[in-house]
Amino acid sequence: MTLNMVILGPPGAGKGTQAERFAEDHGLLKISTGDILREAVESGAELGQLAKAIMDKGGLVSDEIMIGIVRDRLARTDAKPGVVLDGFPRTVAQAVALDEILEDRDDLFVIDLVVSEEELVRRLSARRVCGQCGATYPSAGLNGNCERCGGKLVQRSDDCESVV
């Protein structure tokens, strides 16, 4: 039996944190759309290059491209025993495509994290991201450096209280 899980929720709800914990506890692969998008761009893959061209212009990557990138990633051998998806699906079209991609696997479980708006604002206003590897932290920590790669932790422009 394979175990496939999707964790949904608004930015700051803890999707990445919970996906990582669940994947680790159950020996599953955690797949973050941000990570696989960066990987597709860095690898020079066709879909990655299409995504890069859109992102370089400040646009949002289309459902078609994201679905293709996720489909390619889920087709790899290491994803066959089961995965925890973080950041996908985000749209109805992506959800329909995911259902088709996983149709030959066992059940897909979906968890929707619900957090109050007040708590989301608090979390996002404090959240920091590594400028090098993209790791996310609930705050800048003691020294403001990433525990994974040593990169500087920064606040995303869309994580300030006025935007949140």
Residues 14 and 35 in one domain: yes
HSE at residue 69, side-chain half, CA atoms within 13 A, is: 32
Tens digit of pLDDT for each residue in 112-127? Answer: 999 999 999 999 888 8
Judged by DSSP in three states, 111 sits in: strand
Residues 80 and 135 in one domain: no
Residues 94 and 161 in one domain: no
Residue 150 near residue 115 (C-beta atoms within 8 A): no
pTM greater than the 0.85 cutoff: no
Rg of the Cα atoms in the chain: 16
Tens digit of pLDDT for each residue in 36-92? Answer: 999 999 999 999 999 999 999 989 999 999 999 999 999 999 999 999 999 899 999
Residues 142 and 154 in one domain: yes
Q: Which residue has better confidence, 1 or 152?
A: 152
**Which domain, by its residues, includes 53?**
3-114
Q: What is the pLDDT of residue 62?
A: 96
Beta bridge partner(s), residue 97: none
Residue 135 near residue 150 (C-beta atoms within 8 A): no
Residues 142 and 90 in one domain: no
Specify the CATH number for the domain of residue 11. 3.40.50.300
